[in-house]
């Protein structure tokens, strides 16, 4: 059995005393790609933030790489190898592509940089360009490439395709999956393009109104999409 990287049991997270996510059980293993699906406001981002302890949990247990996630532990989690790419992509508009790499690469090697650029060759021609001048897809590639420079053991990506053409997601997701298999990295994705995400995932969970309403192998969910639609629809209907 592959190593357990993230372990959450009964995770409950909220804002100002109101729970936005309740009783979520989630496990992520080495080499696995897990996609979190669900309608807008279902609690996907809140779940991610609870998993890495940016938001405190009010009930349940959550550990990433053996470290209990809670506020104040972000630096320790990052050092242990947990990388979160937030939905704003986590890049600095004024810095060039190369400057992003150099910031990240203080803790990584030349070989790592070359490997990452092999996965994202488009960035090679953009090294001198400021991030603000990149297209949305290029910015996303930069956000991911910069995180990969640090050889994370857990990569968490929120809404990678927000505002992007699906073609970009189609190109990027398989690369992330390859790297996960190659390096035993665990990947947790939040993604709106459900079919594309499932095609590059091992498992998926659907959240509805802050609770897990469906969980299965990605292949099974792709084969019978009515279950997925029912899960989305059910989550909406109860509003
Ligand atoms: N900063 C916040 N303060 C209060 N409520 C929030 C905040 N962020 C999100 N929420 C609420 O928590 C619920 C889940 O939101 P979120 O996790 O952002 O959903 P998703 O990422 O699935 O779209 C929503 O009802 C949303 O309105
Ligand atoms: Mg969100």
The reported pTM is 0.94
In a domain, 105, yes or no: no
In a domain, 27, yes or no: yes
Encode pLDDT of 93-150 as tens digits.
999 999 998 888 766 688 899 999 999 999 999 999 999 999 988 998 999 999 999 8
Closest C-alpha to 49, from 23, 71, 30:
71
Non-local CB neighbours of 227 within 8 Å, separated by 6+ positions = 214, 216, 221
Tell me which of 162 and 193 has the higher pLDDT.
193
pLDDT of residue 146: 92
In a domain, 87, yes or no: no
Tell me which of 232 and 222 has the higher pLDDT.
222
pLDDT of residue 130: 97
**pLDDT higher than threshold 50 for residue 54:** yes
Q: What is the mean pLDDT of residues 25-31?
A: 98
Q: What is the CATH number of the domain that holds 176?
A: 3.40.50.300
**pLDDT higher than threshold 70 for residue 21:** yes
| Tokens coding 180 | 């996960």
Which residues does a 6 A CB cutoff place in the pocket of ligand 1?
A: 15, 20, 38, 40-46
User: Whose CA is closest to atom 17 on ligand 1?
Assistant: 43
CA of residue 181 to ligand 1 center, whole Å: 32
| SS3 call for 214 | strand
**pLDDT higher than threshold 60 for residue 238:** no
Separation between Cα atoms, residue 71 and residue 168, nearest integer Å? 33
**pLDDT higher than threshold 60 for residue 237:** no
In a domain, 36, yes or no: yes
In a domain, 167, yes or no: yes
Number of H helices, E strands in the chain: 9, 10
**pLDDT higher than threshold 80 for residue 22:** yes
Question: What's the domain count of the chain?
Answer: 1
In a domain, 8, yes or no: yes
Encode pLDDT of 202-227 as tens digits.
999 999 999 999 999 999 999 998 99
Separation between Cα atoms, residue 37 and residue 11, nearest integer Å? 17
pLDDT of residue 239: 44
Q: Please report the atom of ligand 1 found closest to the CA of residue 207.
A: 22
Separation between Cα atoms, residue 131 and residue 94, nearest integer Å? 6
**pLDDT higher than threshold 90 for residue 196:** yes
Range of the domain at 170: 4-81+152-237
Distance (Å) of CA 217 to CA 5, 68, 199: 18, 27, 11
Q: Please report the atom of ligand 1 found closest to the CA of residue 38.
A: 22
In a domain, 147, yes or no: no
């Amino acid at each position: 059995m592959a190593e357990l990287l993230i372990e959450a049991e009964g995770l409950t997270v909220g804002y100002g005393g109101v729970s936005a996510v309740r009783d979520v059980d989630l496990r992520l293993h080495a080499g696995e790609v897990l996609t979190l699906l669900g309608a807008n406001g279902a609690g996907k981002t809140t779940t991610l933030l609870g998993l890495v302890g940016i938001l405190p949990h009010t009930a349940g247990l959550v550990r990433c790489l053996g470290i209990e996630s809670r506020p104040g532990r972000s630096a320790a989690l990052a050092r242990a190898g947990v990388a979160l790419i937030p939905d704003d992509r986590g890049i600095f508009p004024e810095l060039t592509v190369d400057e992003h790499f150099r910031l990240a690469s203080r803790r990584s090697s030349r070989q790592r940089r070359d490997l990452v650029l092999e996965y994202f060759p488009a960035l090679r021609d953009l090294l001198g360009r400021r991030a603000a001048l990149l297209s949305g897809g290029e910015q996303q590639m930069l956000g991911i490439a910069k995180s990969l420079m640090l050889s994370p053991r857990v990569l968490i990506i929120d809404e990678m395709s927000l505002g992007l053409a699906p073609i970009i997601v189609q190109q990027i997701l398989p690369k992330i999956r390859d790297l996960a298999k190659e390096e035993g990295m665990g990947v947790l994705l939040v993604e709106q393009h459900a079919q594309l995400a499932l095609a590059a995932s091992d498992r998926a969970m659907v959240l509805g109104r802050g609770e897990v309403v469906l969980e299965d192998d990605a292949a099974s969910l792709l084969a019978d999409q009515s279950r997925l639609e029912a899960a989305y629809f059910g989550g909406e209907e109860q509003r």
